[in-house]
Amino acid sequence: MIGILKKIFGIGPAVNYAALVKQGAIILDVRSKGEYAGGHIKNSLNISVDQLGKNLDRLKDKNKTIITCCASGMRSASAKSILKSKGFTSV
């Protein structure tokens, strides 16, 4: 039961995102172009979640670590599911 609750609320071990980026991870911002233009993480790649399926070729290596981000976590979770279903291994 505790494991299910942790999964639902996203509670788990801390992730060192800075270290992942230093190791070559891609930060994928899945917000709209307008939202991205209003401010974003330096060196992030912007592909809106509704365009992700059509732009998978921009993410060349399916084994490279990809960190998805958005405003609230909903779109990034959707993007993670899309990427996992397309064979990306480390999202």
pLDDT digits (tens, 9 = 90+) for 9-40: 666 677 888 889 999 999 999 999 999 999 99
Give me 50's structure tokens. Answer: 């509704």
Burial 32-66, CB ≥16 within 10 A → b, else e: beebbeeeeeeeebbbbbeebeeeeeebeeeeebb
Work out the average pLDDT over 47-64.
95
- Where in 31-89 does DSSP place strands (E)? 45-46, 66-69
Instruction: Supply φ then ψ for residue 46, to 5 degrees.
Output: -105, 115
Q: What is the pLDDT of residue 35?
A: 97
